Amino acid sequence: MTIRLDARLVPIYQDVLHRNPGEIEFHQAVLEVLESLGPVLTKYPEFADKKIIQRICEPERQIIFRVPWRDDAGEIHINRAFRVEFNSALGPYKGGMRFHPSVYLGIVKFLGFEQIFKNSLTGMPIGGGKGGSDFDPKGKSDDEVERFCQSLMLEMYRHLGEHTDVPAGDIGVGGREIGYMFGQYKRITNRYESGVLTGKGTDWGGSLARKEATGYGLIFFTQEMLKAQNDSLEGKKVVISGSGNVAIYAIEKAQQLGAIVIACSDSGGFIVDENGIDLTTVKRLKEQERRRIKDYTEYHTTARYVSDSSIWSIPCEIALPCATQNELTAEDATMLVNSGCIIVAEGANMPTTAEGIQVFQQAKLRYAPGKAANAGGVATSALEMQQNASRDSWSTEYTQSRLEEIMVGIHKSCFDTAKEYGDEGNYVLGANIAGFIRVARAMSAMGLI
């Protein structure tokens, strides 16, 4: 892979490599942003003088702690948990918690770093943070998940606050886990501090449309990308990886807008249903019964299940990776380009490898990075915080219209910024520069902190 780094940024990147050994996902996320920032330093030399980039690459605070808990058989387990409070120039640290066995500091830092620019792009008053644990919720009973969440919060609560750090969900953390964490926070602090967590139940301070927001927002963004090329979603063949919260609501909105979603997946494999995926079955399997996507074929005999090849081998016009980091390789990207794909927009965080991105960019396919395309989730979290602060709750229609407005705004700022910097259609450049400048200006105004 060719590294395209401005000479002024090489020592900064080398320093990141040196100080964060082995954290390969973090290195990848930093490099992707730094590759866009050369022209920004030329335009704003004061950012270089104030070492804004070096400061942004170093988290303000990193918390690592032990989470002991007991399983249903009485055996003790020890997990490790993290909260990386990356940047608070624009507002309280904001970003989800991920529970997955792959979680280690390098994953939390890549996610936290991305979150800074994503949150900035929303235009809302939220800083960047992220957390998680190597706890694996798969196969755990409800009681075990509850005990784990309570134990985790018994340490994490002291670092949180509606004006300090506001976690939410991510992979492995949904409404159930947020409920257990909120209950424990409320009990320890003796405060009903609604705005300390987002993704809450809609009966107790959660926002309508938050659950749907990342997936819906991704489709609103995709629609804008198509509009910019005088095209629309109507009749388009779409492949969406994953079958979690992001994928499910991306499928829902894509179908509402006339697209035909023909495939989705989980960590075991993928299903293809040329008639269009029946979302009711996917929701029942995944949201209610916590089963495998493979079981879809029990209910739809026209569909097939594939576990020995990549979902990106299925020809489509629009590809929306909504599963996890580095799920789409250069080989996958080449297959997509060759089969006539015109748009890739990321619902997951960093699902395309650095080599995969280069394939898309060389082919001049329109490719939108997650920090822009999936920002609808965190943006609606900020709307939840707004409702909590005013002790109000908004209708689904109003909240969704705010979400759509925000996604249209993010698309516009990415598109216009890429054009301004001489590379129209380069959403990576547009997102990185527009996201960076807002944070850099705030840091610059606040002095050396």
Contact residues for ligand GLU, defined by CB under 6 A: 94-96, 168, 170, 198, 349, 377-378, 381
Contact 103, 82 (CB under 8 A): yes
Please state the closest distance from residue 396 (CB atom) to ligand GLU, in A: 18
Contact 246, 366 (CB under 8 A): no
Contact 414, 373 (CB under 8 A): no
Q: Which two tokens stand for residue 376?
A: 């609808």
Amino acid at 422: G
How far apart, in whole angstroms, are the C-alpha atoms of residue 357 and residue 351? 10
Q: Is 130 a catalytic residue?
A: yes
Please state the closest distance from residue 296 (CB atom) to ligand GLU, in A: 26
Please state the closest distance from residue 310 (CB atom) to ligand GLU, in A: 23
Closest CB to ligand GLU: residue number: 96
**Which of 214, 353 has the CB closer to ligand GLU?**
214
Q: Which one-letter DSSP state was computed for residue 76?
A: E
Please state the closest distance from residue 168 (CB atom) to ligand GLU, in A: 3
Give the orientation angle of helix 175-189 with respect to helix 142-156, to 10 degrees. 50
**Which of 59, 95 has the CB closer to ligand GLU?**
95
Cβ atoms within 10 Å, residue 444: 15
Please state the closest distance from residue 180 (CB atom) to ligand GLU, in A: 17
How far apart, in whole angstroms, are the C-alpha atoms of residue 104 and residue 81? 8
Residue with tokens 């969440």: 149
**Which of 150, 374 has the CB closer to ligand GLU?**
374
How far apart, in whole angstroms, are the C-alpha atoms of residue 381 and residue 374? 12
How far apart, in whole angstroms, are the C-alpha atoms of residue 283 and residue 168? 21
Identify the bridge partners of residue 62 per DSSP, sorted by sequence position.
84
How far apart, in whole angstroms, are the C-alpha atoms of residue 188 and residue 445? 37
**Which of 95, 356 has the CB closer to ligand GLU?**
95
How far apart, in whole angstroms, are the C-alpha atoms of residue 438 and residue 436? 6
Contact 146, 71 (CB under 8 A): no
Please state the closest distance from residue 377 (CB atom) to ligand GLU, in A: 4
Cβ atoms within 10 Å, residue 235: 9
Closest to 270 measured CA to CA, from 328, 223, 352: 328
**Which of 272, 410 has the CB closer to ligand GLU?**
410
**Which of 171, 342 has the CB closer to ligand GLU?**
171
94, 109, 118, 130: the catalytic one is 130
> Which residues are known to be catalytic?
130
